[in-house]
Structure 1
Amino acid sequence: MHILFLTPEYPHEATGASGGLGTSIKNLVIALVDKGVEVSVVVPYQDETRIIQENGWTLYKIASKKFSFANWFFYKRHVGKLINKYCQQKNVDLIEVPDWTGISAFMNLKTKICSRFNGSDAYFCELDGRKQSRRNFLLEKLNLKNALHYCSASSFTARRTRDIFKLHKPIRTIHNSIDHENFVPIQNDKDTQTILYFGTIIRKKGVLDLAAAFNKVASQNPKAKLIWLGKDAKDVFTGSSTIELVKEILDENAVTRTTFLSEIPYDQVQQEIAKATVICLPSYAEAFPMTWLESMSMEKAMVTSNIGWANEMVEDEVTGYTVTPENHELFANRILELLSDHKKRESFGKAARAKVIKEFSTQVIVDQNIDFYSKII
């Protein structure tokens, strides 16, 4: 069995940093290789064209190329020809593409395609209440039309995507996974009363609600601190920096106990998670977020949103607290409760890690993927 992943991002020294999409693919690639599956990863829009042989898998970078007319269309055709040639030479059985950005549209790929839903632009626009461009919708629609089979990172994402694109084929839910042996609890004897948010600082992640809730937390807990770890994003509604919007919401007391950290190397993120007392991730728009899995695997007490996918991952009052982000009173109270209750933090954390090991560990999820691939090849 030879699976090729076509993706706009992948975390590797040759392709640069990546978000949750690339991270989820990397976790699956490593697990498949360990099971003896042959894997190739193709990343277009790169600085050079190069094939890199890794430990049991192949990375194929395809350089950007300029065309004098309709560049986006002819570049896709160019990439498609290279992939078709590679698939024929390497006997690729299946190409997996994400739903995001409609990457396979107009590529005219000859090998069987499946699409995994980790959240398309159309999906996130609907959850955000934003209007999507017609061009992006068309690309994503064609990308899904090219696929013969579908799987989704969550049942919630599957249902919403089916409705948005009016899909009729079956969609199998295979949750994103994490290697729980790489994300382990790190002993931290210091009770720092620190709240950590990590990820892109953007409206759809509920950061404005977190800022409002922290005003209430800071007024009642004089030791509470809030750390924001992640890059700033331009706000889709105002055009301004989201960090600046957050600062406008924070009152004089709260802002003095708030720290913004820019992006740090991925391997250092674990240290920041370990140092935190409570993790807050109140997102409005996700599929099955890696940040949540990482926190759960490290036995951290969490306060998250309660929207859609959250109910497939976090069990309220058992593995963490789930709240409606805009309910700032309840949001703040849940944070305050965890900051003051070590035993509850410990109970939530242990239950969260146990759930990850049982349901979302790479060792469990990889077999579901292999079963899915075997049935559609």
Structure 2
Amino acid sequence: MHIGFITSEYPHPRVKHAAGIATSIKNLAMALVKKGVDVTVFVYHQDKSEVLCDGDIEIHLIQSKQFKLATWYFYRKHIQKYVNKVVNDKKINLLEAADWTGVTAFMNFKIPLIIRFHGSDAYFCKLEDRKQKFKNFIFEKLALKKAKAYVAPTTYAGLETQKIFQLDKQKIKTIHYGLQLENFENKTPKIYNKNTILYIGTIIRKKGVLELAEIFNKVIKENPKAQLILIGNDSPDIITKGRSTYQLMQNIFSDEAKEHVRYLGKIPYNEVKKHIKNAHVCVYPSFAETLGMVTIESMAMQKSVVNTSIGWAQELIDNGVNGYLVHPTNIDGYFEKILKLLNDEKLCLQIGEAARQKVETLFDIDKNAEINIDYYKSILKE
């Protein structure tokens, strides 16, 4: 079997951008290759066109192009032409693409196309209660309606997307993202930097970072030794139109809290894992995810996580057993759970151990790759 992935991001030094979608695609691609599946990745919107190898995975970078008219249409047709040629040359059996802004709208392929719900613009607009551009909705709907089947990383993301676009429920399969668990071992869970609270993700309103600033103000009042470490790219703010969401956080932090905050920006992935290992508690108060890779990465490294309580997170964490679920707007409730974990080392270790067990059960990429392969085969048989 030969699978092709169409994406705007992938973790490779020559690729312009890589975030959660990129990590989940690479994890799956590597696991598929280990099981004898050939994988080709097509990454569009790149600075130049070239073909790279990442181990046994072949990566095709597709350069951005501008056209005199309707670039949104003709660039898609350009991607289609390129992909179809490689599909023919490499005998690719099935393609997979993301739903974001409907990149495969207006594209036609001779082989089946699956769309994975990494999170459409319409999905995030619904969760954030903001208006979507009509053009984006049309593109996403066209792309989804043309796909043969769909994969959702959580049942919640699948149902919400199905309702937004009126899709056939029978065509949606829930398959969780997964981790290569051997890369997320923590053999010394009792060794960490006490009172260190870690957040990883884009510094953007929808991730609950403004609420996190309020929460940390309360933490520092009760625990003057607490430290908050923030890792991720800063982002413009969609409401105020300001250029920096981190600046908005700065405006919320108390003077005392500011002295205990370290914003590291974007750092290499190996360093991120070190920070997870060293953290006392990890916090992800997001308003909008389909699953949240950093949550399961932190759980895999036996960390106590205080997560959002919104739909998708309920499939990752059993509240009070292997983490805590609190709505981001519940500032007092969120603060109380963080403080409880900082003050109870035994509880922290117990929850961290249970978190690892949950990840081994649901988010082992080797197991989930088999589920993907079986699903791909079922689509090809139709």
Q: What's the TM-score, normalizing by structure 2? A: 0.96
Q: Distance between the aligned counterparts of 1:322 and 1:69, measured in 2? A: 48
* 8 Å contact from structure 1 (residues 99, 118) kept in 2: yes
Tell me the residue number matched to 1:234: 236
- 1:167-246 pair list within 5 angstroms: 167-170=167-170, 171-185=172-186, 187=188, 189-240=191-242, 241-246=244-249
User: Is residue 350 of structure 1 aligned with residue 353 of structure 2?
Assistant: yes
Matched residue type, 2:231 = L
Q: Deviations over 1:29-60 (max 9, x none)?
A: 00000000011100112122222234222111
- Residue 97 of structure 2 aligns to a residue whose secondary structure is strand
Tell me the residue number matched to 2:251: 248
Q: Deviations over 1:72-91 (max 9, x none)?
A: 21111111111111111111
Tell me the residue number matched to 2:379: 376
- Residue 60 of structure 1 aligns to a residue whose secondary structure is strand
- 1:146-157 pair list within 5 angstroms: 146-157=146-157
Q: Distance between the aligned counterparts of 1:115 and 1:4, measured in 2? A: 12
Matched residue type, 1:249 = I
Tell me the residue number matched to 2:304: 301
Structure 1 outlier segments of 4+, above 6 Å: none
Q: Distance between the aligned counterparts of 2:256 and 2:302, measured in 1? A: 30
Q: Deviations over 1:269-295 (max 9, x none)?
A: 001111111101111100011101110
Deviation at 1:107, TM superposition (A): 2.1
Matched residue type, 1:357 = E
Query: Which moved further from structure 2: 284-293 or 98-107?
Result: 98-107
Please report the RMSD computed on the Cα atoms of aligned residues, expressed in angstroms: 1.2
Q: Distance between the aligned counterparts of 2:353 and 2:207, measured in 1? A: 25
* 8 Å contact from structure 1 (residues 358, 364) kept in 2: no
Q: Distance between the aligned counterparts of 1:228 and 1:53, measured in 2? A: 33
Tell me the residue number matched to 2:90: 90
Count of equivalent residues: 377
Deviation at 1:3, TM superposition (A): 0.6
- Residue 280 of structure 1 aligns to a residue whose secondary structure is strand
* 8 Å contact from structure 1 (residues 97, 104) kept in 2: yes
Q: Distance between the aligned counterparts of 1:272 and 1:186, measured in 2? A: 15
* 8 Å contact from structure 2 (residues 194, 342) kept in 1: no
Q: Distance between the aligned counterparts of 2:253 and 2:55, measured in 1? A: 48
User: Is residue 274 of structure 1 aligned with residue 277 of structure 2?
Assistant: yes
Q: Distance between the aligned counterparts of 1:178 and 1:54, measured in 2? A: 18
* 8 Å contact from structure 1 (residues 200, 233) kept in 2: yes
Query: Which moved further from structure 2: 31-40 or 44-53?
Result: 44-53
User: Is residue 135 of structure 1 aligned with residue 135 of structure 2?
Assistant: yes
* 8 Å contact from structure 2 (residues 192, 277) kept in 1: no
Q: Distance between the aligned counterparts of 1:304 and 1:208, measured in 2? A: 15
Matched residue type, 1:166 = Q
- 1:52-63 pair list within 5 angstroms: 52-63=52-63
Q: Distance between the aligned counterparts of 1:195 and 1:84, measured in 2? A: 47
Q: Distance between the aligned counterparts of 2:250 and 2:49, measured in 1? A: 43
* 8 Å contact from structure 1 (residues 282, 304) kept in 2: yes
Q: Distance between the aligned counterparts of 1:84 and 1:194, measured in 2? A: 50
Deviation at 1:141, TM superposition (A): 0.8
User: Is residue 81 of structure 1 aligned with residue 81 of structure 2?
Assistant: yes
* 8 Å contact from structure 2 (residues 9, 21) kept in 1: yes
Residue among 318, 330, 333 paired with 2:333: 330
Q: Distance between the aligned counterparts of 2:11 and 2:33, measured in 1? A: 17
Query: Which ranges in structure 2 are unaligned for 5 or more consecutive residues?
Result: none
Q: Distance between the aligned counterparts of 1:186 and 1:244, measured in 2? A: 37
Deviation at 1:186, TM superposition (A): 5.3
Q: Deviations over 1:248-283 (max 9, x none)?
A: 111122122111111101111001111111101111
Matched residue type, 1:279 = C
Q: Distance between the aligned counterparts of 2:280 and 2:169, measured in 1? A: 44
Q: Distance between the aligned counterparts of 1:273 and 1:309, measured in 2? A: 22
- Residue 309 of structure 1 aligns to a residue whose secondary structure is helix
Deviation at 1:169, TM superposition (A): 4.6
Q: Deviations over 1:112-170 (max 9, x none)?
A: 10111111111001000111101111111111012011110000000000010111252
Q: Distance between the aligned counterparts of 2:54 and 2:68, measured in 1? A: 35
Q: Distance between the aligned counterparts of 2:49 and 2:198, measured in 1? A: 39
* 8 Å contact from structure 1 (residues 153, 175) kept in 2: yes
Q: Deviations over 1:198-229 (max 9, x none)?
A: 11011111111111111111111111111111
Query: Which ranges in structure 1 are unaligned for 5 or more consecutive residues?
Result: none
Work out the percentage of aligned pairs sharing the same amino acid. Answer: 45
- Residue 181 of structure 1 aligns to a residue whose secondary structure is helix
Deviation at 1:244, TM superposition (A): 1.4
Tell me the residue number matched to 1:165: 165
Tell me the residue number matched to 1:262: 265
